[in-house]
Chains A and B, each alone.
Chain A
Amino acid sequence: MTRMIDTTTSAVPSAGDTPLLKVCDLRVEFSSSSGRVHAVNGVSFELQPHELLGIVGESGCGKSVTSLAILRLLAKPAGRVVGGQVEFDGTDLLGLDDDDMRDLRGRQVAMIFQDPMTSLNPVTTIGEQLTEVVRSHTKMSRQAAEKRALETLELVGLPNAKARLKDFPHQFSGGMRQRVMIAMALILGPKLLIADEPTTALDVTIQAQILDLIARVARETGAAVMLITHDLGVVAGMTQRIQVMYAGQIVETAATDELFAHPRHPYTVGLLRSIPRLDDGGSRELIPIDGLPPDLTRLPPGCPFAPRCAWAIERCLAENPSLTVPGTAQAAADLPLGTHVAACWNPATDEEARAGMPASGHISAVSAAAQTRAAQAAVALGGQE
């Protein structure tokens, strides 16, 4: 299912502008029958205007919850923001009154969801679902709104758009529905587009088309994009910067090229090792990450990845690291945007990242199982060469 990675495009984002979105120490909790789920635990990041940012992590790492929290769309009353700030274009979103927040959604910040099959209302026409966005945010007449809908559908490449305005969602294929979703998100020219796993539910053949479309329309409308995915292959060719999330925290962030070339956090190393690459001649074995993500109702005191980590040292079990320049104590908050930072006490070197295992010397008991497995994989790899 994973796309082959081609890490040729992408530029370092321009730092120094006023950020479009600034998230500061965001914390989100869900109440559940088994206790409080700490879904997002102190996430801080910035997004520049026109920037394409990838947020990567496995299911349950808090990437979708972060985006829903930004738009204040968390399922009530179970989910709630328990700390932090979200600033969009200079406005404090968490303090905004409900009506202003409603007006901001769809007009300034729009969102595309994972499953286009279920994200469109089955009983109203596509035309109505598009025009209602325009009509509830502007004083545009019905005709003008329909004209706008038509233009947007043509922008996203929906064939025969005029006739299809009267069609219902079930009359479209999955890829076409996602085009409609994109059109719906972009119809008012938002400054920020949040795409939550926009290609996960689609056929592999359609995925690349949709990603290209998102990149193109974002460029044409000037929208910044937050692309959320569990698939590094999806963000590789498209985003300028990538944030890797694990257990509700950002564990590493860097420019896309930099992250693929020099991953520092063992989790990122693991993610990269578990997808196929075009540039290694196909000789490399894919290695899954051992174990499961931690129970978010009972987070360990140390680094949440430590129990699965081959690099783990004693300190990892006791103390949760914050984002710093790898190997130094320089905190991310003091550095310009786009600087490569990771939350790790014992970051991987380039050598180790290539090998997919730490150099000998600091192997702890916690990582013995993972270590054994990595060694076996290395033997297998050596045998092939």
Chain B
Amino acid sequence: MLKYIVRRLLLLIPILLGLSLFLVVFLHLLPGDPCSANLGEHSTPENLARCRTGLGLDRPIYQQYFDYMAGLLHGDLGVSATNKVSVTTEFAARFPATFELTVSAMFLAIGVGIPLGVAAAKRQYSLFDNFATVASLIGISIPIFFLGLLLQYLFGVWLHWLPTAGRYDLATYSYDGAGTNFLLWESLVINHNLAEFADVLRHLILPAVALGTIPLAVVARITRSAVLEVLSEDYVRTARAKGLTSKRIDDRHVLRNAMLPISTVIGLQTGLLLGGAVLTEQIFSWGGVGNWLFQAAVDKDFVVIQSGALILATIFVLVNLVVDIGYAYLNPRIRYS
């Protein structure tokens, strides 16, 4: 198992190398650079040249690449051309927001999606099953920007139940910018402040619902089909013939086996969401990774885009590695060696 993990981690090297090369070449092929984006179209050629020299953009592209990679090897992810903040600092500040949002969204997707899929499969072709199938189809096809705005209008503007933007209320939360920026953790475990915790939770609900709806629908659909498949397996009939209670049959025989395909889907969805949900973070003014990378793309902030993409690729690979390890635990027929 350890050998397998090491091999998978070593596989990251060619992935990151290939990705970085692709990014550098591709970004430089595009018209515009941080300087033209920053200074605007009316800047003088002298100003532009000075800016480019300052950022080192006047050097040959291969030299820029090697300098960037040399920095990477020393753990230096570079500095933003726009606000001169180091990528590492900015990412560390923003990742907790994305992480909390992702975990909440997946919590919702798993907590609702799996029971929904199981219930639908056990009543195949019933009214409930048809309803769930249509609902999950809508869930998969609904655009996030539309769902987000709808939620904001419904629960924020109209009903006044929930906040529509930000991660916390300045009036309640005495967050001073220090700490880990994992606000759920900070408020509950560090500050022991239930009011703060409740406030952070309230802010999380709408973005988590908006972001979690698609994974929820995907999880529900895959759960339904996986459970249906397992229900027709011989070993489920054996379990019934053994006179086990239906709860035990569901938990130990049906779900344990159905979890194999479900866990793969959950892993993929989590990896995707951790990359930052651009739309959700924009709509709910969520200071996360997606928001940041979106802005970097607008600003043509090469270094931030490159490093950001490399970080996301690494996270994606790591999440999937964790899923694969969990898969081996769920499925004894698979032993990585």
Residues of A in contact with B (beta carbons under 8 Å apart): 71, 73, 102-107, 110-111, 113, 115, 118-124, 128, 132-133, 136-137, 168, 170, 181, 184
Contact = CB atoms under 8 A, between A and B. Distances in A.
Given A122-B333, A132-B252, A113 B237 contact: yes
A111 B333 contact: no
B243 A133 contact: yes
Interface string B43-74: 00000000000000000000000000000000
B7 interface: no
Given A132-B252, A168-B333, A118 B241 contact: no
Contact of A102 (B237, B243, B333): B243
Contacts of B202: none
Given A168-B332, A170-B332, A170-B333, A119 B244 contact: no
A119 B234 contact: yes
A122 B235 contact: yes
B332 A73 contact: no
Interface residues of B, number: 23
B234 A106 contact: no
B160 interface: no
A71 B233 contact: no
Contacts, number: 80
Interface of B: 233-235, 237-246, 248, 252-253, 256-257, 260, 330-333
Contacts of A168: 332-333
A229 to B, nearest CB: 18
29 contacts: A71-B241, A102-B243, A102-B244, A103-B243, A105-B240, A106-B241, A106-B244, A110-B242, A111-B238, A111-B241, A113-B241, A118-B235, A119-B234, A119-B235, A119-B237, A121-B253, A121-B256, A121-B257, A122-B235, A123-B260, A123-B330, A132-B242, A132-B252, A133-B243, A136-B242, A136-B244, A168-B332, A170-B333, A181-B238
Contact of B256 (A73, A105, A123): A123
Contact of A105 (B242, B253, B332): B242
Contacts of B248: 132, 136
A136 B237 CA distance: 16
A133 to B, nearest CB: 5
Contacts of A181: 238
B210 to A, nearest CB: 35
A348 B242 CA distance: 43
A73 B237 contact: yes
A123 B233 CA distance: 13
A371 to B, nearest CB: 42
B238 A120 contact: yes
B333 A124 contact: no
A73 B252 CA distance: 19
Contact of B243 (A115, A119, A121, A136): A136
A122 B330 CA distance: 10
Given A120-B235, A122-B257, A132-B248, A106 B242 contact: yes
A116 B245 CA distance: 22
A200 to B, nearest CB: 13
Closest CB pairs A-B (n = 8): A106-B243, A105-B243, A118-B234, A106-B242, A168-B332, A111-B241, A121-B235, A119-B234
B226 to A, nearest CB: 13
Contacts of B233: 118
Contacts of B234: 113, 115, 118-119
